Every structure is written in C-alpha cells, then in structure tokens.
C-alpha cells in the first residue's frame, strides 16, 4: 500500500490518471517529474505540494525554477533529476510512467533505493528485464504492473500462489484499428487512421504500437520477465471489446480472467493500493451492455511485430532491446512522414536481426544495442 508516491512522467496519459487516483485516495506525492511540460507540472506541483520536481529537458529548467520560485519545492533537471525523484527518501513507491528507454535507469535507481515500482514504462522490462528483475529480487522490492494486461495477470495469479499449477497466460489484445485487414491493405494506411484507436485513449507512440500490434509483442516480452515464464507459456488472443484484460490457465484447463471497463485507473489504483482494494472513479461493468464478447486468433501474417518480439525474446540477450529501439525509431520516422506505415515491421525485424548475440548483458550492452538499432533504422530509411 503506497503512502508516498513519486511519479516519473506525471503529465502523460498514465501520469495524469494516476494523479486522479492519488487525489481521490489521499496518497502523498513526494516527487513529480516530466519530459518538458512545465506549464502542467507547475499546476500539479501547486496542487500536490511535492518535495521535489524535475524536468528532463534541461532547457526548461530555468522556466520551471522561476514558476515555482515562491514555493519551497526543490527543482532539478535531466537524468539526474529523474533519478533524484526516483530515490527521494520519503517515497515508498515510484510510478514509472515515462515513455521510452529514458525510464530504465531511474527505475534501476529506485529499486536500488528500496522503492517498490508501479511499472508503466514498457522499455524497463523489454530492454532491461533480466537486470531489473534480478535487482528487484536482490533488494526485495515489488514490481507492480500498471499496464492493464499485466495487472490482469497479476490479479489472476493472486488467486493461485502455486506456480506449478499454472499452465499458461493469455494476453488479450484489442487488435487495433486495422483488425481484419491484410498485410497488403496496410500499404495505404495514413497517420490519422493509425492514430485512431477504438478502445483506449493513449499517447501517440503507444497508439501506433497498438495499431501494429508491436505493443502486444512488447507486452509479451514484459510478461516473460514479470511472471518468470517461458515464451511458450504466453499466448495472445484478440478480444475486440477490451473487457477481459487477460487470463491465466491452470494445468486442469481451468481459466481465470480479470474483467472491467477499459479504464486505466483500475490497474493504476490497484498498483498503488496493492494489496488493498478501494472504491474507484471508474464505472461498474454492465454485462448487459456487452451481450457479445468476441475472441480471435491474432493474424500473425498481417501483424508481423508480434512474431518479431517473440523471436527477440527467444534469442534473449540484447535482441529485445534492439527490437524496441528499432521500433521507436521507425515509429518516429512514420510520425515524421519519412517512412510508410507498412515499412515499420520490416525496419524493426532487420535491425533486430542485425543485433549481436550475447550470452550475458550489462546495462551498457542494452544501451549500445538500443543505440545501434536506432542508427540502423535511421541510416536505412531516413
């Protein structure tokens, strides 16, 4: 149960929804940290009165400092600022809701400082899963998933602590806006179409990843680390309505599902109040409003990113970090109108396969693989 939280990425989609939960639950805010939105950070700081705030973009430091000059709040900047927020003494839980590889080091700092992690940053486990889980184990801290699918699996597993009884987990996927399309049909996809997600409201990068199903591939890798599974124990099913958030199956083929309306404040609140449950601002699920829940096998021939991620985690080492870095670069090129939507998975696979085979990985190896994969994509496609 969180009493004092530091939020890394407080102005993003997860961050603002987390503050909604924090406000309603009366959780204390120790630190807030943003990429560059100092206008909103100032408002948040005045409302939640943290000890410390930080802006990652150092160019915004003076602006932020001037805005908060009449308050006792300390102001920091850059990666040092993020790590200061992640390790500030009073907080017991760090919510990592920054987007991108920038989340990895502050998360490791927070773990080393003995903080529990409410994890909403994908890259932390995708790129650094082995290091992060080992550090968490060594320090005895909890990694509490915020992502709806992982929260669902986490909640289902609570019902059966006996790991040997588990056969597999089943991640649900909405299928995105291009469900039912052929690979060929993706050649004409526009930016507006790719940014229009049917069920979830999210940031741009995550929305594109959801449309290519790279998001599900990354979640596959995260699930492997989070729940200590083999890739063979993880299945994916397309579930258009996003009501079943994921499931676990036992040896006797009994399945437990976690359900609810698609609203991130349920998993955010559970991560922050675990193991307690409280009333939430989210509406109750009315089954009568969803008379039909549908399930489909993912179309792996159209959504190539799922198998790219599955291959990356089977190869292990730095391959997942390379796939993730290449994807971030490719999605940015697409958003900048430099490559077509259709090109994204091909760019990612090529860069992933170009990564070096390593039996054990260090933090430096991970950052190098990430950098090299991005460069590979930029050189080929920019």
Which residues are at the interface with Mg ion (CB under 5 A)? Answer: 147-149
Q: What number of H helices and E strands is found in the chain?
A: 15, 11
Say if residues 156 and 257 touch (Cβ distance below 8 Å).
Answer: yes
Token readout for 276 is 């307690």
Min dist. Cβ of residue 174 to Mg ion (A): 9
CA distance 260 to 111: 30
Of all residues in the shown chain, the one whose CB is closest to Mg ion is 147
Cα dihedral across residues 67, 104, 228, 179: positive or negative: positive
Among candidate residues 148, 261, 253, the one with its CA nearest the CA of residue 206:
148
Any alpha helices (H) in 90-203, and if so which ranges? 104-112, 122-139, 148-157, 191-194
Q: How far apart are CA 132 and CA 107, in angstroms?
A: 8
118 φ, ψ (degrees, to nearest 5): -95, 105
Comparison of 45 and 221: residue with beta carbon closer to Mg ion: 221
Nearest CA-CA partner of 379 in 347, 349, 357: 347
Q: Which is nearer to Mg ion, 78 or 198 (CB)?
A: 198
Distance from C-alpha of 311 to C-alpha of 180, rounded to nearest angstrom:
24
**DSSP letter assigned to residue 106:** H
**Please, what is the Cα angle at 97 between 93 and 101, to 5 degrees?**
115
Angle at CA 107, nearest 5°, toward 104 and 110?
155
| Nearest CA among 66, 6, 1, 12 for reference residue 34 | 12
How many other CB atoms are found less than 10 A from the CB of residue 51? 19
Q: Which residues of 64-80 are buried (b: 16+ CB within 10 A; e: fewer)?
A: bbebbeeeebbbbbeee
Question: Could you give the angle at the alpha carbon of 32 between the alpha carbons of 201 and 49, nearest 5°?
Answer: 115
Rounded to 5°, the CA angle 50-48-100 comes to: 70
The three-class DSSP label of residue 158 is coil
């Amino acid at each position: 149960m969180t009493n004092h939280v530091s939020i890394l990425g407080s102005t993003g989609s997860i961050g603002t929804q987390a503050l909604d939960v924090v406000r309603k639950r009366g959780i204390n805010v120790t630190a807030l940290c943003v990429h560059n939105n100092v206008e909103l950070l100032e408002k948040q700081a005045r409302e939640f009165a943290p000890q410390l705030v930080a802006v990652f973009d150092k160019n915004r430091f003076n602006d932020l400092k001037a805005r908060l000059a009449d308050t006792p709040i300390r102001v920091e900047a850059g990666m040092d600022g993020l790590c200061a927020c992640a390790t500030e003494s009073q907080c017991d839980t760090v919510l990592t809701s920054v987007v991108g590889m920038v989340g990895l080091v502050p998360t490791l700092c927070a773990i080393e400082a003995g903080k529990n992690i409410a994890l909403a940053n994908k890259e932390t486990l995708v790129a650094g899963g082995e290091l992060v889980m080992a550090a968490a184990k060594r320090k005895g801290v909890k990694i509490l998933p915020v992502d709806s699918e992982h929260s669902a699996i986490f909640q289902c597993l609570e019902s059966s602590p006996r790991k040997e009884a588990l056969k597999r987990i089943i991640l649900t996927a909405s299928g995105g806006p291009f469900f039912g399309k052929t690979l060929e049909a993706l050649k004409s996809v526009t930016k507006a179409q790719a940014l229009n997600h049917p069920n979830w409201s999210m940031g741009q990068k995550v929305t594109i990843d959801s449309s290519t199903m790279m998001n599900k591939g990354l979640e596959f890798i995260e699930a492997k680390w989070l729940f200590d599974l083999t890739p063979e124990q993880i299945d994916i099913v397309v579930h258009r309505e996003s009501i079943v958030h994921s499931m676990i199956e036992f040896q006797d083929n009994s399945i437990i599902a976690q359900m609810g309306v698609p609203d991130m404040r349920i998993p955010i609140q559970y991560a922050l109040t675990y193991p307690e449950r409280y009333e939430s601002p989210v509406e109750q699920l009315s089954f009568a409003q969803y008379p039909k829940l549908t399930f489909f096998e993912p179309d792996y021939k159209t959504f190539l990113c799922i198998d790219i991620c599955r291959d990356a985690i089977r190869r292990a080492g730095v391959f997942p970090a390379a796939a993730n870095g290449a994807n971030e670069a490719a999605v940015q090129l697409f958003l900048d109108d430099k490559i077509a939507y259709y090109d994204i998975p091909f760019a990612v696979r090529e860069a992933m396969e170009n990564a070096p085979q390593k039996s054990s990985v260090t933090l430096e190896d991970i950052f190098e693989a990430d950098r090299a994969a991005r460069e590979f994509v930029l050189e080929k496609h920019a």
